[in-house]
Amino acid sequence: MWIKDSTEVAPQTLQDGIRIRWLITDKDGAPNFAMRVIEIDPGVTFPPHTHPYEHEIYVLEGRGVLTNPEGDVGIMEPGKFVFVEPSAPHGYRNIGEETWRFICIIPLQK
């Protein structure tokens, strides 16, 4: 059982202006799911994509839009949470003036 600060975990760049911090993973002994923080800079878009696993998301800071290939789905801001079903196309666009940060949980591969 341990406590860490999210700034202790180095961010990895996913694309220009988008970073991920892998907070809790199988390397920590997590048996079932991984906790990450996604950080998207102002004005940056993460295009819609799919994968066969779900997301459970909770917004920490900033303001952005959840998107799918048809357009905008809704606003994601602090206190909002999101469920993305397995294989649902989803993307993100920061529409605020600060870095948009949200927790994103995924299942671990077994």
Q: Which positions touch a second copy (CB under 8 A)?
A: 1-7, 23-24, 28-33, 35, 54, 56, 58, 60, 66, 68, 73-76, 79-86, 88, 90, 103, 105, 107
CB 93 within 8 A of CB 46: yes
Pick between residue 16 and residue 110 the one whose CB is nearest to a second copy.
110
Beta bridge partners of 39: 19, 101
The span from the CA of 71 to the CA of 53, in Å, is 21
Pick between residue 8 and residue 16 the one whose CB is nearest to a second copy.
8
Pick between residue 16 and residue 32 the one whose CB is nearest to a second copy.
32
Pick between residue 41 and residue 54 the one whose CB is nearest to a second copy.
54
CB of 41 to a second copy, least distance (A): 19
CA-based max dimension of the chain = 43
Q: How far is CA 29 from CA 11, 46, 53, 67, in A?
A: 20, 30, 20, 33
CB of 81 to a second copy, least distance (A): 5
CB of 55 to a second copy, least distance (A): 9
CB of 93 to a second copy, least distance (A): 14
The span from the CA of 65 to the CA of 45, in Å, is 9
Give the tokens for residue 41.
């800079």
